[in-house]
């Protein structure tokens, strides 16, 4: 019996120890990276307040770009909400559709016919193409309107087909775009009661990212990634990007054209600002929206983000300093910008470390079972490894405490408590998404084609913490 299990004991304990050691070193490095960023957040809290302030007001009409493919179930409701919320604002909403998406065209045509603030733009090509291509079509249509009507828009606002906009959003943009090129407001995922775990982990991640990460970047004057929703840019800024890209400001062959455009604005040295403030009525000015509530849809969406930001984004953007001469940027700021970009691109490495950690934990449990049932010898981890594990445990507790803190600040203490076990869900989603992202990126390299692999949305009546009475749920395509 001992001979027949000796090889299994060697395999389980040896592989478990090596995986545990690799994961521990990786978790230590990533944990220290996060800890240093947390220290920056704490150290800059006395900086400029995130208030609804600015040096003046940006006059003129705002264009709202809203790309759509197969959104017939929700787009009409989204447009009605936006038109009601922005009653009295000088806006025009450009809706990008496709000729082979008859359901969406029929759903919104009555609204477009009745309200002059809506402008339907039908692509010359069948869909779906890419979101960047759709946005470029809206940019071209806006330019045609400007030439025909003899005026120029002041700014462009980006939103998605399922968003719940804030009534004070346009007013906030006017105040801050008077002295900067781009403004991003917080994105708050709607946590539906039936999707507390899969959909809820998005809320935890965005609460921390837009409660800390974006705040620190804005205070330090670092390039800000656009979320693609709740984001506004001056028309001059997009015109500059269009000149750089041969007439089209958005990259057509990207899965994350919104992220890239924000980073490119920073590469030009233009000012961007993240604004998290409360309106006169006492409500937080944010963009609310639904995120996938099923595992397969969440993996698909997050895989697109990883493939677009961490993999293809590396190809498209390089590293800070590659566009500007080294003498144009202070070395300290240059390395700070590179560090921020590293944090955006570390998702595949973090997923690998997490996979090793969970595999090592599983093998360790098997080893304990072997000790109890088969008389295997105990694993000698050594003092150094034991200290490493103890340090990682403290970093883990700190990380969970921070995640819980930001979730509680955004959604209340109940969601703050749920954020702790939801961290495991987030880790599993990250591992599966990283694997899928590698496949997506490989296919992109081989075929050279990028397709708008989007999530389908449906409107439903449900409740949500701190959100509207009507929420949106997502269903995988």
The domain that holds 255 is classified in CATH as 3.90.550.10
Q: Burial level of 395, CB count in 10 A (0-12/13-18/19+)?
A: middle
Q: How far is Cα 256 from Cα 401, in angstroms, rounded to an integer?
A: 30
Tens digit of each residue's pLDDT (9 = 90 or more) over 382-405: 788 889 999 999 999 999 999 999
Q: Which residues span the domain enclosing 281? A: 1-477
Tell me: pLDDT of 245 over 70.
yes
The winner for highest mean pLDDT among 236-240, 252-256, 315-319, 371-375 is 236-240
Q: How many domains does the chain have?
A: 1
Can you tell me whether residue 274 is helix, strand or coil? Answer: strand
Using alpha carbons, select from 215, 194, 218 the residue that is nearest to residue 206: 215
Confidence tier at 151 by pLDDT (50, 70, 90): very high
**Position of tokens 């001992």?**
2
Which strand (E) or helix (H) includes residue 179? none
Tell me: pLDDT of 275 over 60.
yes
**Position of tokens 């559709």?**
97
pLDDT of residue 194: 84
Q: Burial level of 250, CB count in 10 A (0-12/13-18/19+)?
A: buried
**Higher-confidence position of 326 and 224:** 224
Tell me: pLDDT of 30 over 90.
yes
Tell me: pLDDT of 469 over 70.
no
Running DSSP on this structure, what letter comes out for residue 310?
I
Tell me: pLDDT of 349 over 90.
yes
Confidence tier at 328 by pLDDT (50, 70, 90): low
CB 232 within 8 A of CB 62: yes
**DSSP E strands, 332-417:** none
Output the six-digit token pair for 138. Answer: 């809206």
Tell me: pLDDT of 115 over 80.
yes
> How much is the mean pLDDT over the chain?
88
Task: Count Cβ atoms below 10 Å from residue 248 Cβ, excluding itself.
Answer: 17
pLDDT of residue 326: 44
Q: How far is Cα 178 from Cα 301, in angstroms, rounded to an integer?
A: 34
Task: Count Cβ atoms below 10 Å from residue 283 Cβ, excluding itself.
Answer: 12
**Higher-confidence position of 465 and 190:** 190
Tell me: pLDDT of 357 over 90.
yes
Tell me: pLDDT of 465 over 60.
no
Q: How far is Cα 236 from Cα 156, in angstroms, rounded to an integer?
A: 10
Q: How far is Cα 351 from Cα 64, in angstroms, rounded to an integer?
A: 36
Using alpha carbons, select from 251, 253, 265, 260 the residue that is nearest to residue 309: 260
**Position of tokens 């006492």?**
282
Tell me: pLDDT of 470 over 70.
no
Tell me: pLDDT of 300 over 80.
yes
């Amino acid at each position: 019996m001992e001979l027949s299990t000796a090889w299994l004991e060697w395999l389980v304990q040896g592989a478990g120890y090596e995986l545990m050691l690799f994961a521990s070193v990786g978790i230590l490095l990533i944990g220290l990276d996060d800890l240093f960023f947390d220290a920056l957040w704490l150290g800059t809290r006395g900086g400029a307040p995130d208030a609804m302030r600015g040096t003046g007001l940006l006059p003129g009409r705002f264009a709202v770009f809203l790309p759509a493919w197969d959104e017939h179930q929700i787009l009409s409701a989204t447009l009605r909400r936006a038109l009601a919320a922005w009653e009295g604002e000088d806006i025009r909403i450009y809706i990008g559709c496709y000729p082979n998406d008859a359901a969406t065209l029929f759903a919104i045509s009555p609204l477009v016919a009745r309200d002059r603030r809506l402008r339907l733009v039908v692509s010359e090509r069948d869909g779906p193409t890419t979101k960047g291509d759709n946005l470029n079509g809206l940019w071209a249509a806006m330019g045609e309107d400007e030439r025909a009507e003899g005026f120029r828009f002041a700014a462009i606002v980006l939103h998605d087909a399922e968003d719940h906009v804030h009534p004070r959003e346009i007013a906030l943009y006017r105040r801050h775009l008077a002295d900067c090129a781009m403004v991003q407001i917080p994105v708050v995922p709607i946590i539906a009661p039936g999707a507390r775990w899969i959909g809820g982990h998005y809320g935890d991640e965005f609460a921390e990212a837009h409660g800390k990460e974006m705040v620190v970047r804005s205070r330090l004057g670092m390039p800000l990634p656009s979320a693609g929703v709740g984001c506004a840019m001056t028309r001059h800024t997009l015109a500059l990007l269009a000149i750089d890209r041969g007439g089209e400001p958005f990259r057509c062959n990207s899965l994350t054209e919104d992220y890239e455009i924000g980073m490119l604005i920073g590469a030009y040295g233009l000012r961007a600002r993240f604004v998290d403030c409360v309106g006169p009525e006492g409500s937080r000015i944010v963009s609310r929206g639904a995120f996938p509530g099923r595992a397969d849809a969440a993996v698909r969406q997050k895989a697109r983000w990883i493939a677009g930001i961490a993999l293809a984004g590396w190809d498209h953007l390089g590293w800070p300093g590659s566009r500007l001469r080294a003498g144009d940027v202070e070395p300290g700021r240059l390395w700070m910008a590179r560090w921020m970009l590293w944090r955006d691109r570390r998702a595949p490495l973090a997923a690998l470390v997490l996979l090793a950690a969970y595999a090592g934990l599983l093998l360790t449990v098997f080893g304990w079972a072997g000790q109890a049932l088969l008389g295997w010898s105990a694993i000698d981890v050594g003092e150094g490894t034991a200290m490493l594990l103890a340090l990682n445990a403290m970093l883990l507790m700190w990380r969970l405490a921070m995640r819980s803190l930001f979730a509680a600040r955004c959604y209340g203490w109940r969601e703050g408590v749920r954020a702790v076990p939801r961290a495991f869900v987030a880790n599993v989603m990250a591992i599966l998404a990283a694997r899928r992202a590698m496949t997506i990126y490989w296919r992109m390299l081989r075929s050279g084609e990028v397709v708008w692999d989007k999530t389908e949305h449906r409107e439903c009546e449900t409740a949500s913490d701190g959100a509207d009475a009507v929420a949106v749920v997502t269903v995988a395509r």
